[in-house]
């Protein structure tokens, strides 16, 4: 339980692949040595080189098998050691063997270093190690022909591919870890909501009730407690409207606007709309409500009603304030005041909806905002 799977290097299988490959290619190098050693200029040096390769294979196996020991310095050393052994070929192979393009001392064992570099440093590291190895192959043979070029391309390409794979694996693991953290955060949020509901809310509600009855200063405290109670209730009962496929729940978003003086009603279920429209409609509602607060006085109440008619979404914001005298809005507009009414109309028009304002002295104001539901997905099936 100490290391969660999410914390492991996701490229670990690639590292194990390179370890296995190193031993398979070492066996190949041994075979090549046995076949060619009688023709070598310096067979002793060839065996010494093979000894280094075997020893280095053991070192890398013991280190790269463990995540904590996959050190940058070791991976760089891997490239250097491989190049060093490869370059002794110039002294080991006879001229005739070079002419017959007999394999270098390292043979295919040299292909492993670019792979580990790719696994450790990603695509760029893999390509660089591949290029270094290609240059060394050319130096070891002291000529550049089709074989050397082909080896170079293969070495570079394998380094590149392993590098890309390792990077992709790490990225998707990071994404997964992020998702797991989000899930844990949601669970924690639900636990908090339950505990707030069970404790703080009950006490706040009690303070509000009792304080209101006692009157005076206690009533003021009760009012404050009541406001916090409603805000907390809305917070803990509103699902986080995640950015899932760009939709959001307008019902839940509007519920957050509820206060002791603003009542929000709507269908029991969700009203899902594109997140941008939800944001805009909430902003429009806030604007209308702030207008109520400014003009209808502190005692005015307001009601927000959300209706989902399938084809249309209807949002009504009503207050029981003194209303707006006839001609007042027209007058303001004529004087060049771009008031809240103009702003609300403009925003609703931009969304492709219509808005009407009904008001009369003493009868409050009532905004009705009607928005055709954006096409796509479900509904409208009849």
Partner 1 sequence: MTVSVMIVDDHPIWRDGVARDLAEHGFDVRATAADADAAVRIARTVRPDVVLMDLNLGDTSGVVATRSITGDLPQTRVLVLSASGEHSDVLEAVKAGASGYLVKSASVRELVEAVHRTADGDPVFTAGLAGMVLGEYRRMADAPAAGEPPPRLTERETDVLRLVAKGLTAKQIADRLVISHRTVENHVQSTLRKLQLHNRVELARYAIEHGLDREED
Q: Would you tell me which residues interact with partner 1 (CB under 8 A)?
A: 197-198, 201-203, 205-206, 208-210, 212-213, 226, 229-230, 233-234, 236-238, 251, 255, 258, 260, 263-269, 301-303, 305-310, 316, 318, 320, 366, 379, 382
Long-range contacts of 217-226 (CB under 8 A, 24+ apart): 223/260, 226/260
Please give the backbone phi and psi of residue 248, each rounded to the nearest 5 degrees, phi first.
Answer: -145, 165
Choose between 78 and 229: whose C-beta lies nearer to partner 1: 229
CB of 345 to partner 1, least distance (A): 20
Q: Which residue has the tokens 């005076």?
A: 216
Choose between 78 and 366: whose C-beta lies nearer to partner 1: 366
Choose between 152 and 266: whose C-beta lies nearer to partner 1: 266
CB of 300 to partner 1, least distance (A): 11
Choose between 164 and 235: whose C-beta lies nearer to partner 1: 235
The helix/strand count (H/E) of the chain reads as 13, 7
CB of 205 to partner 1, least distance (A): 6
Choose between 210 and 337: whose C-beta lies nearer to partner 1: 210
CB 225 within 8 A of CB 207: yes
Could you say which DSSP state residue 328 is in? H
Choose between 41 and 358: whose C-beta lies nearer to partner 1: 358
SS3 197: helix
Q: Are strands 262-265 and 302-308 parallel, antiparallel or unpaired?
A: parallel
Choose between 47 and 303: whose C-beta lies nearer to partner 1: 303
Q: Are strands 272-274 and 262-265 parallel, antiparallel or unpaired?
A: unpaired
CB of 239 to partner 1, least distance (A): 9
Choose between 37 and 189: whose C-beta lies nearer to partner 1: 189
CB of 203 to partner 1, least distance (A): 6
CB of 167 to partner 1, least distance (A): 44
SS3 content of the chain, % helix, strand, coil (to 5): 65, 10, 25
CB 275 within 8 A of CB 243: yes
Q: Rounded to the nearest 10 degrees, what angle do helices 200-214 and 146-198 cross at? A: 40
CB of 353 to partner 1, least distance (A): 18
SS3 54: helix
E strand or H helix that includes residue 43: helix 43-64
Exposure letters 223-234 (e unless 16+ CB within 10 A, then b): eebbeebbebbb
CA distance 268 to 151: 68
CB of 316 to partner 1, least distance (A): 6
Cα first-last separation, the chain: 54
């Amino acid at each position: 339980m100490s290391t969660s799977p999410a914390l492991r290097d996701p490229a670990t299988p690639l590292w194990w692949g390179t370890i296995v490959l190193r031993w398979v290619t070492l066996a190949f190098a041994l075979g090549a040595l046995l076949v060619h050693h009688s023709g070598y200029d310096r067979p002793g040096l060839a065996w010494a080189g093979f000894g280094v390769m075997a020893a280095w294979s053991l070192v890398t196996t013991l280190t790269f098998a463990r995540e904590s020991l996959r050190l940058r310095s070791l991976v760089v050393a891997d490239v250097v050691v491989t190049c060093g052994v490869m370059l002794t070929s110039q002294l080991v192979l006879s001229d005739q063997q070079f002419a017959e393009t007999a394999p270098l001392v390292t043979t295919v064992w040299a292909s492993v270093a670019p792979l580990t570099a790719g696994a450790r440093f990603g695509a760029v590291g893999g390509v660089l190690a591949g290029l270094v190895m290609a240059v060394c192959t050319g130096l070891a043979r002291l000529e550049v022909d089709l074989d050397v070029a082909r080896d170079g391309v293969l070495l570079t390409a394998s380094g590149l591919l392993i590098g890309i794979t390792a990077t992709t694996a790490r990225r998707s693991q990071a994404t997964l870890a992020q998702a797991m953290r989000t899930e844990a955060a949601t669970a924690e949020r639900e636990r908090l909501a339950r505990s707030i509901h069970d404790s703080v809310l009950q006490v706040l509600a009690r303070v509000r009730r009792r304080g209101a009855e006692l009157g005076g200063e206690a009533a003021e405290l009760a009012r404050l407690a009541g406001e916090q109670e409603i805000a907390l209730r809305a917070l803990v009962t509103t699902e986080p409207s995640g950015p899932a496929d760009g939709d959001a729940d307008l019902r839940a978003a509007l519920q957050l606007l509820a206060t002791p003086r603003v009542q929000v009603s709507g269908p029991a279920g969700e009203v899902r709309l594109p997140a941008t429209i939800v944001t805009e409609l909430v902003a429009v509602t806030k604007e209308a409500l702030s207008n109520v607060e400014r003009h209808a006085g502190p005692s005015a109440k307001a009601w927000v009603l959300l209706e989902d008619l399938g084809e249309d979404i209807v949002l009504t914001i009503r207050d029981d304030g003194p209303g707006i005298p006839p001609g007042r809005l027209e007058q303001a507009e004529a004087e060049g005041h771009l008031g809240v009414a103009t702003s609300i109309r403009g925003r609703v028009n931009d969304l492709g909806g219509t808005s009407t304002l009904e008001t009369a002295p003493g009868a409050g104001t009532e905004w009705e905002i009607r928005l055709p539901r954006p096409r796509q997905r479900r509904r409208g099936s009849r």
